[in-house]
Structure 1
Amino acid sequence: MSRKLTTNHVAARAGVSIGTLYQYFASKQDILAALAQRRAGAVRDAIAETIIRKPDVSSVRPIVQALMNGFEGSPATRQTLLDAMFLRGGDSVLAQHHEAFLAAIAGRARLQVELTPESAFVLTHAPIALLRAAAAEPELGLDPARLEDELVRLMESYIGALVAARR
């Protein structure tokens, strides 16, 4: 994706001059990072709404699916967008989305468990880190449906353990 995408193509598609495009974005990487941030924000907001509507373990699969499908396109496109987002935002990108997610559900979701900073960290970072690793390692040939099942199993087990520990 990245090699086929040019700032001239972006400007033409947006209906603006290349000079106008460069007023907002310094490079192609900045455009990709902004697109990735927009998509990540949309996924984060959709997941927050899912949890607010149905704050139980039955929400896990739709959440995993949202994470897996939030960046449309080929695996190479997803990897290009994620790389651009992390290149521009650094490792703090996940922390920013984590904080925004917690703020979005604060006082609006009736969870079965009390989220400590540690459990919230695990719940938000584990699936993202594993999906990022899967995208970075296409040579593993992971089957998306099976990976989804494994992520659901992981998250449901963890939430179940949190519920059991609360009793």
Structure 2
Amino acid sequence: MAEEPRRQARGQRRMEQLTDAAALVFAEVGYAKATTNAIAKRAGVSPGTLYQFFANKEALATALADRYRTALQEAHAQAFDPTAAQLPLPELVDRMIRPMVEVNLANPGFKTLFAGPDLPEHLTAPARALQAAVTGKVAEIVAVRAPGLPADRLQQTATVATQIFAALLGTVLAAPPADRESWIQELNQALVGYLTPVLS
């Protein structure tokens, strides 16, 4: 009886190993040029082992899309909690940016991969929709904090705040681990500096 859960756990680990390898290969050479042989080699397994779990590279890309979408949904739930809207602004901003930084750190290459031109549209669309929803989530938080803000100003504020985050995210992710916290603080200060006059 105990063998079945162990077998399932091993199978789950193998699937994660293969999808991790696929993410790296897809990010390096693109979906169109990636092959299952290259993915199997990167994972350190035979092609036959790969085919025990995934029928083809689209099945691997589908698994990656599901993983990325789930990770983004979880990050959104942590980052954009309207009940936190009345926290001191630096604390609120920190609470919003950290889950979004962490999901990108935990999924290297995913953002590039899902923005690429050669991944099938039905795989990229859900993740892109979630990424696009960030502006709306920011607008919801701002609206709770500044309920009198006109709708056009609310949308403009959320758009600019999202773009500030996007502009500095690459620098945060590329920073050596020892320097990353200081860049997160810089990002926090940039957003607080922009939002303070709007929310006051």
TM-score surpassing 0.5? Answer: yes
**Partner in structure 1 of residue 85 of structure 2:** 54
List gaps (5 residues or longer) in structure 1.
none
1:116 aligns with 2:154: yes
Q: Deviations over 1:74-104 (max 9, x none)?
A: xxxx3322222222537954324434x268x
Distance 1:124 1:46 in 2: 16
| TM-score, L = length of structure 2 | 0.55
Alpha-carbon displacement from aligned partner over 1:120-150 (angstroms, at most 9, x marks no partner):
1112332134214544xx3x65821111110
Q: Are the aligned partners of 1:61 and 1:152 in contact in 2 as well (CA < 8 Å)?
A: yes
| Contact 2:79/2:98, CA 8 A, preserved across alignment | no
Seen in structure 2, the aligned counterparts of structure 1 residues 132 and 29 have a Cα distance that, compared at 3 Å, is farther
**Residue of structure 1 in register with 2:65 after alignment:** 33
Residue from 142, 149, 166 that aligns with 2:185: 149
Gaps of 5+ in 2: 1-19, 26-41
* Equivalent in 109, 113, 121 of residue 80 of structure 1: 109
CA separation in 2, counterparts of 1:11 and 1:64? 39
TM-score (norm 1): 0.64
Q: Where does residue 45 of structure 1 map in the other structure?
A: 77
User: What RMSD, in angstroms, separates the aligned Cα atoms of the two structures?
Assistant: 3.7
- Note closer, same or farther for the CA distance 1:82–1:112 as it changes in structure 2 (3 Å cut): same
Q: Would you say the 8 A contact 1:32–1:85 is kept in 2?
A: no
Distance in 2 (CA, whole Å) between partners of 1:8 and 1:112 is 58
Change (3 A) 1:112 1:120: same
> Looking at CA atoms only, which structure, 1 or 2, has the larger radius of gyration?
2
Give the Å deviation of 1:8: 7.4
- In 2: Cα distance, 1:35 partner to 1:8 partner: 23
User: Following TM superposition, by how much is the alpha carbon of 1:65 offset from its aligned partner in structure 2, in angstroms?
Assistant: 1.6
**Paired residues, number:** 145
Say if 2:116 is the partner of 1:66.
Answer: no
Give the 4+ runs in structure 1 shifted more than 6 A: 6-12
Aligned-residue sequence identity (percent) comes to 11
